[in-house]
Amino acid sequence: MQFSLADSARLTDAQSGYTLDSPAIQRRINQWQTLLQGYDANRVVLTADSSISWILADLACLTAGILLTPLPTYLSETQRGAVLNSLQPDLWLSDHDITDTACTLLEEFDGLLLYRRQVNGSIAVARGTQKITFTSGSTGNPKGVCLSARSQLDVALALKALVEHISSGCPRHLCLLPLSTLLENIAGVYTPLLAGGEVIVARDIFRGFSGSRLTDPLKLLQLITTQQPKSLILVPELLKMLIQAANSGWAVPASLEFIAVGGAYVSPDLLRKAAALKLPVYQGYGLSECGSVVALSDTDPAKATETVGQPLACRDVHIINGELVVNTPFLGYLGDADSSTAQVYTGDLAEWTAQGELRILGRRKNLIINSFGRNISPEWVETALTDSGVVQQAMLLGDAKPYCSALLFASAGVSDTQLAEIVQKVNKQLPDYATVVSYHRLTDPFTAERGMLTENGRLRRKHIEQCYAAQISALFTGDKYELLSIPA
């Protein structure tokens, strides 16, 4: 597959300042291809922190047609073992020692260790698959999404045209999400390089991350300030952090022209707060099965707070019975030969605006229907709670119940009285059937390590319900509510 690296493209390490220009990038890609092909690599798995070498290995596999599966570094041993068993890779690239007895060290190259892995049996991979990205839904069971090189580049090129319309000059993008995140991989690496821009990478510790969690926001803010990027890609939690920092005196870099936010529902109120601080936030929407991005707003952020814009030029989108459906050459899931389809039913409720833009309303399967027949999108109430800046995490409950309850997490510095006041304040903004009548305060946050969040920060609701079954049951006992009006 041809990857047309622009002449002005660059890769830069944020800590050392080490940089590669376009010819040097191409030479290193060629070296990686020679190495991988010399070892007859067919299926490669990559587990490494963000680095220039990570990007070069990825681009080598992309352009050589070698099947690559990038994995997050924070997976547990059990999770990683299950993935490796389903993948059966013959080569494993890592930035740390591998103790798996099925692996034999071949050599170290460009800061990565190359291991030969013993293959046990065959696997079912759709023809044309170049990359497998593991996406974990609400059930907690990860699925390997099979993507072609063409589908990845279609999205990257469509985003290139859109970003060039919004920004000035060549991109200068700082990767904040792990490179194993498909959104950062395609939109944060491929797109800027195709547009002749600079991609800046930094390891987890310098981005303030520990595993999947941001544990040192000051490091992240310092990195943004030091690097002065033109663009960033954020999940909603990181956007909230930037807004809180700006309200506390952090100087938003004047260099910022484009901040894409996606991966989970983003409330209009959060976008309005960002616009008031002159943060150039553009909301997007996508899913792994469609190459990560389906739509991205290109409207003035101050005016577009409720839509994700129009679909990308490479995506044909419809709304069928209220559900967003995308026509895309989806190759299917790893191990499931019958899962390929020309139409992806996203499971997201959506509608068109008068301007032809998409408005995402919530997840169909998350929809709460209370015992009075009222429909409630939990994301709507949850974001109202977390937008307060006091509640850090929230999960709404109430399906087939007469009222809504919630699991809430707030920092130890928030008193029970303060939490109660915030819930009461939010309730005043909601209709009676969506108010939080009772809640349980969590002592620990939902985390990916505990199996309660996906990589992008979405709630794994079924698993959370199982973990907190006793507490949830207690929320719906006794007479905790006033009788709600029965709808006509």
Domain that holds residue 394: 368-475
- Return the H-helix or E-strand segment holding 219: helix 217-227
Kindly report whether the global pTM for this prediction surpasses the value 0.85: no
Check: CB of residue 422 under 8 Å from CB of residue 385: yes
Q: Does residue 402 lie within any of the structural domains?
A: yes
Q: Are 104 and 193 members of one domain?
A: yes
Among the candidates 363, 395, 419, a domain finishes at 363
Q: Are 189 and 302 members of one domain?
A: yes
Q: Are 349 and 378 members of one domain?
A: no
pLDDT one digit per residue (tens) for the chain, 488 residues: 678 898 999 999 999 999 999 999 999 999 999 999 999 999 999 999 999 999 999 999 999 999 999 998 877 677 788 888 889 999 999 999 999 889 999 999 999 999 999 998 778 788 899 999 987 533 345 688 999 999 999 999 999 998 888 888 899 999 999 999 999 999 999 999 999 999 999 999 999 988 777 889 999 999 999 999 999 999 887 898 899 999 999 999 999 999 999 877 787 888 999 999 999 999 999 989 999 999 999 888 877 778 999 999 999 999 999 999 999 878 999 888 677 888 999 988 899 999 899 998 877 888 887 766 677 889 889 988 998 889 999 999 998 788 899 999 999 999 999 999 999 999 988 888 889 999 999 999 999 888 899 876 889 999 999 999 999 999 998 655 443 333 32
Among the candidates 363, 384, 404, a domain finishes at 363
Q: Are 357 and 373 members of one domain?
A: no
The 3-state DSSP class for residue 169 equals coil
| Residue listed under structure tokens 């909603």 | 236
| CATH code, domain with 410 | 3.30.300.30
Q: Are 155 and 235 members of one domain?
A: yes
Q: Does residue 247 lie within any of the structural domains?
A: yes
pLDDT at 299: 84
Q: Are 306 and 273 members of one domain?
A: yes
- State the burial class of residue 469 (Cβ atoms within 10 Å of its Cβ: 0-12, 13-18, 19+): exposed
Q: Are 50 and 186 members of one domain?
A: yes
Q: Are 202 and 295 members of one domain?
A: yes
Q: Does residue 481 lie within any of the structural domains?
A: no
Rounded CA gap, 467 and 450, in Å? 10
Residues 6+ apart with CB under 8 A from 469: none
The 3-state DSSP class for residue 415 equals coil
Q: Are 231 and 333 members of one domain?
A: yes
Rounded CA gap, 444 and 457, in Å? 15
Q: Are 301 and 421 members of one domain?
A: no
Listed in order, strand segments (DSSP E) in 390-487 are 391-397, 404-410, 436-441
Q: Are 279 and 177 members of one domain?
A: yes
- Count the domains in the chain: 2
Q: Does residue 483 lie within any of the structural domains?
A: no
pLDDT at 141: 52
pLDDT at 481: 40
Q: Are 262 and 345 members of one domain?
A: yes
> How many whole angstroms from its chain centre is CA 31?
31
